[in-house]
Amino acid sequence: MRKTEAWKQVIESTEALLEGQRNWAESNLANTASLLWHALKSMPEPSNHINWAGFYVLDPTISKQLILGPFMGKVACQTIEFGRGVCGEAADSGETLLVQDVHSFPGHVACDGETKSEIVVPIKVGCPGCGALAKALSHACDW
């Protein structure tokens, strides 16, 4: 499957799953993580080397901290401070980050030793820095 077709299918499937739903943390984010994981697995290299797809959400008890949300893949860090690592920096800046080599990223948080590249998209629904969608690959990728 070509990337454009896979992403179109992910968007359409996500929209259909989320329509009329309100259970964001437990259901909607979990289903979206699964859709992303399986879409990336069906794509050609290097995208199919996905080893993590999921969400970090704003910690309601600690300011400027993300907590692990629904995901698929390897075990992940449970908390990430804003400004720390790729996820924390994306949440802090509000900007999408595409990192080809995470080991050269200042302050990289190594939640697993296999991740080589990441893309992190900040979630801005409801509040700035409400969370982050992250994808990690076990191979270098120019995204």
**Any idea what the CATH number is for the domain that residue 31 is in?**
3.30.450.40
pLDDT at 20: 85
> 142 in a domain, yes or no?
no
Pairwise CA distance, residues 15 & 19, whole Å: 6
Q: How far apart are CA 35 and CA 45, in angstroms?
A: 18
Express each pLDDT in 27-42 by its tens digit. Answer: 888 888 998 888 888 8
**Residue 56 in domain:** yes
Helix (H) or strand (E) holding 38, with range, is helix 29-42
Residue 29 belongs to domain spanning: 3-137
pLDDT digits (tens, 9 = 90+) for 51-61: 899 999 888 89
Q: Supply the pTM of this predicted model.
A: 0.82
Residue 143 lies in a domain: no
What is the number of domains present in the chain? 1
Going from the C-alpha of 135 to that of each of 23, 27, 62, 116, 130, the distances in angstroms are 22, 19, 24, 11, 17
Rounded-to-integer distance, Cα 143 and Cα 131, Å: 21
**Residue 78 one-letter amino acid:** Q
Instruction: Extract the tokens encoding 118.
Output: 């990441």
Q: What percent of the chain has pLDDT over 70?
A: 85
Q: Is 26 helix (H, G, I), strand (E, B) or coil?
A: helix
